[in-house]
Amino acid sequence: MTIKRIVFATGNAGKIKEIQAILADLGLEVLSMKDAGVSADIEEDGSTYEENALIKSRAVAACLGERGQQEGTVVMADDSGLEIDFLNREPGVHSARYMGEDTSYRIKNANLIERLEGVEDERRGARFVCAIAVVLPDGRELTSRGVIEGRIGYEEKGENGFGYDPIFYVPEFGRTTAELTEEEKNRVSHRGNALRLMKEQLKEINGSKSRPL
């Protein structure tokens, strides 16, 4: 079985660019759902990042399968979130839906800073977590997880990135992830780390003689 392409189950063009850069050395075509002509309304109702990523990749694999287009195609999806220690790891898997899907991140970020009012540095620990799930053309499933550790800041800082980036301070850089360049963020981010681990799993499967991709 020869793998020709990866379809990434997201409608987010920014994510596709990031993923294409990180997976470039696999030498495979990386397409968004839109590029692959797939649209699916997927309910992410799993209780872990891995479950949600699997729900998405299975749904897209099923769509492609129905159309006889799954041959040579790896379907990949991610799910991510922000865990704040002081808030018992909230908003976690509910990060996108926290305070409502359509609420602006200005408001969500201001709310989280307010909930941490008076909390000292050492107890402001937080992490972004990302799970990547893959469905192979023969139905095998793989997952990987990546993390970036940081702290919740005292105010929003930076214009890059998206979501909770302006309040996520990375001690190693002395900046928030919204103040990092795209390349700096990819090198250390939860998504970058999870993708690199998945890339190793894919390379290993591809290199194995008994059950190649």
Q: Would you name the residues annotated as active-site residues?
A: 79
Contact between residue 75 and residue 85 where contact means Cβ atoms under 8 Å apart: no
Report how far residue 67's alpha carbon sits from residue 43's, in angstroms, rounded to the nearest whole number.
21
Q: Is 164 in the site for ligand IMP (CB under 6 A)?
A: yes
Least distance from ligand IMP to the Cβ atom of residue 115, Å: 16
5-8 vs 168-170, strand pairing mode: unpaired
- Is the distance from CB of 78 to CB of 194 less than 8 angstroms? yes
Contact segment (CB under 6 A) with ligand IMP among 27-35, 60-68, 156-164, 194-202 equals: 156-164
Task: List the structure tokens of 25.
Answer: 């050395």
Supply the angle between the helices 190-207 and 13-23 in degrees, to the nearest 10. Answer: 50
Residue 169 sits in the site that holds ligand IMP (CB under 6 A): no
In the complex, residue closest to ligand IMP by CB: 163
**Cβ 4 to ligand IMP shortest distance, Å:** 26
Instruction: Work out how close the CB of 98 gets to ligand IMP at its nearest, in angstroms, rounded to a whole number.
Output: 7
Alpha helices in the chain (DSSP H): 13-23, 49-66, 105-115, 182-188, 190-207
Cα distance between residue 103 and residue 106, in whole Å: 8
Q: For the window 63-82, what string marks contact with ligand IMP as x by the rule CB under 6 A?
A: ---------------xxxxx
| Residue 162 in the binding site for ligand IMP (CB under 6 A) | yes
**191 or 202: CB nearest ligand IMP:** 191
Q: How far is the CB of 187 from ligand IMP (least distance, A)?
A: 13
Binding residues for ligand IMP, rule: CB under 6 A, are 78-82, 95-96, 128, 161-165, 177, 189
